Structures are given as structure tokens and as C-alpha cells.
Amino acid sequence: MSKVKFSLDPKPTFIAPVPIPLHGGGSVEVKFTFKHMPKDDLDAFLKGVGELSDREAIMAVAAGWELDDAFNDENVQRLLQNYLGAGPTVVRVYMEQITQARLGN
């Protein structure tokens, strides 16, 4: 069993699967590349997240995705227009990952 090397300075990004809800039920897993935020930055994000659109929130926490379409403002907006549950789901998964909410579950 290999050991994970721990560092006090985490990598600037990490990858996590996000279950994008589909119409009619079910979901499809899309891997997002998320940005690491130190606690102070995360606190500031959380304080202002209620004022952000879903697009702005996703752009604040994500740096990319595994889709063939480029990760940019226009395509994030297309995702949100076509899959209404995507915005809250992306942000929820980010919060679970960044706060290790599922650690040990």
C-alpha cells in the first residue's frame, strides 16, 4: 500500500466528480478541476456567495472540467441554462471536497 505524501502547502487544484442532474432522473458524472482556497479566502467566498450568480460561483471555485467543450464563462452559462440543477450541485460538491465533509464516510 503506497502512502500519500502530506504537505502543508496543498496543490493549487484538485479533481472531483460532480453528478450533474439529468432531466427525467438520474445524473451523469463530470469531473471538475477545482481551485484550492485557503480558509480566509473560503470564508470570504462564503460570505459573498449569496450575491453571486451560479455562473460566478462556479467560475470562482472551478478551473476546468473533463468535457470536450472549453471551460469558460459562455460554456458554464450553457451548462446552467440546459441543466438547472448543475449550479447548486457543483458548488455543493466543491464545499464537500474543500471542507473534507465526507472524510471517513
Please name the residues in contact with 3: beta carbons below 8 A apart, sequence gap of 6 or more. none
> Which residue in this structure is represented by grid cell 469531473?
31
Residue spans of the domains in the chain: they are 42-100
User: Cα dist. 59→7, 10, 25, 67, 76 in Å?
Assistant: 26, 20, 26, 15, 8
**Residue 102 confidence (pLDDT):** 53
**Residue 99 confidence (pLDDT):** 92
pTM of the model: 0.88
- What is the SS3 assignment for 26? coil
Half-sphere exposure for 93 (CA within 13 Å, toward CB): 22
**Residue 105 confidence (pLDDT):** 45
**Residue 6 confidence (pLDDT):** 84
**Residue 21 confidence (pLDDT):** 96
**Residue 4 confidence (pLDDT):** 76
Mean pLDDT in consecutive groups of 10 residues from the start of the chain, 105 residues = 81 97 95 97 96 98 98 99 97 95 53
